[in-house]
Homo-oligomer: A and B are copies of this chain.
Amino acid sequence: MGNMINIGVIGYGYWGPNLVRNFAEIPTAQVTKVSDFKPELLAKAQARYPTIQVTTDSRDIFKDPKIDAVVIATPVSTHFDLALAALQAGKHVLVEKPMTTSSEQAKRLIEEAEKRNLVLMVDHTFVYTGAVRKMHELITSKRLGDIYYYDSVRVNLGLFQHDVNVIWDLAVHDLSIMNYLLPSQPYAVSATGISHVPGEPENIAYLTLFFESNLIAHIHVNWLAPVKVRRTLIGGSQKMIVYDDLEPSEKVKIYDKGITVNGNSESVYQMLIGYRTGDMWSPQLDMTEALRTEGLHFINCIEQGSRPITDGEAGLRIVRILEAATESMRQRGQLVELNLAEVAV
């Protein structure tokens, strides 16, 4: 198996088993080592995959010369140190989202990966779903026309995190989808939110993102909702999308609805607005598990020396928005500039 990519996975808690399972099923890759500081989790990995080596010390992975790539599925506070150590050991890296706890850290990882010519990829899983890839195809082929707004709701009775607020936990999904789908980058954010448990991070938050064009984006996240909602509206000048991730099959619906605007020279203040309602269409989606598509993409980037869709720059942009949104939220909606062009390496 000379051309096999050997993978070490750090973290076998909630998400790690999914990563191991998917990489185990990719023909040109194999997971050779798993580390976790909890022995009982390693025992599970061992029982499931008898041929995989396990260790409580992640350094065993960095030191292993046979390992080509490291997958990091640990809490966000550890991402930077682990990813940096992996890159410095010459390993390609796939790291969980959010990439790091600060944009400074994210930049440092990007620099390290570029210097060493290594693949640095962030696990923005949703980007690899059939639904998001279909919407990307529709948007980039201009089927929606100009994009007017992106509005997403991601709420449920969710686990309250102690170390990160709800923006870092939930909005990161919406931001990574939005970053992939939209044709331009936001320049500023205004966010509001609140904590309902004294001393704990905010459990409900609202983010508005401003763009140079007449595009606006808004994200609502909440750990304390009675019902689960995963719904995104994307408004375009030609068509509009409703993306409901909880729908079992018709996750993406495209509406031939909108307005038509006729300028009127005599009255510039009173545009003639026409309303258009037409058919709705819900395309068949590729139902391949997103992590499989993503794993294949990571392996392919390593093999080809190419740049992943969700590369370090994408990870950095998301981290910068999370950072700025948290700052804005603590100032009750105060606009915070993102300077995404500047933060880029």
| A281 in contact with B284 (CB, 8 Å) | no
Identify A281's interface contact among B155, B162, B279, CB under 8 A: B279
Given A218-B206, A224-B149: A190 and B332 interface contact (C-beta under 8 Å): yes
Chain B residues whose CB sits within 8 angstroms of the CB of A245 once the complex forms: none
| A277 in contact with B271 (CB, 8 Å) | no
Interface size on A, residues (CB 8 A): 74
Of the listed stretches A31-39, A63-71, A94-102, A192-200, name the one at the interface; the rest are far from the partner chain. A192-200
Interface of A is mostly: strand
Chain B residues whose CB sits within 8 angstroms of the CB of A43 once the complex forms: none
Given A198-B271, A248-B228: A222 and B277 interface contact (C-beta under 8 Å): no
Chain B residues whose CB sits within 8 angstroms of the CB of A162 once the complex forms: 269-270
| B282 in contact with A279 (CB, 8 Å) | yes
Question: How distant is A130 from chain B, measured CB to nearest CB, in Å?
Answer: 13
Q: Does A241 contact B (CB under 8 A)?
A: yes
Identify A157's interface contact among B151, B210, B257, B280, CB under 8 A: B257
Interface flags, A245-275, vs B, CB<8A=1, else 0: 0101110010111110101000011110101
Residues of A within 8 A of B (CB): 47-48, 50, 148-149, 151, 153, 155, 157, 159-160, 162, 188, 190, 192-200, 204, 206, 208, 210, 214, 216, 218, 220, 222, 224-228, 233, 235, 237, 240-242, 246, 248-250, 253, 255-259, 261, 263, 268-271, 273, 275, 277-284, 328, 332-335
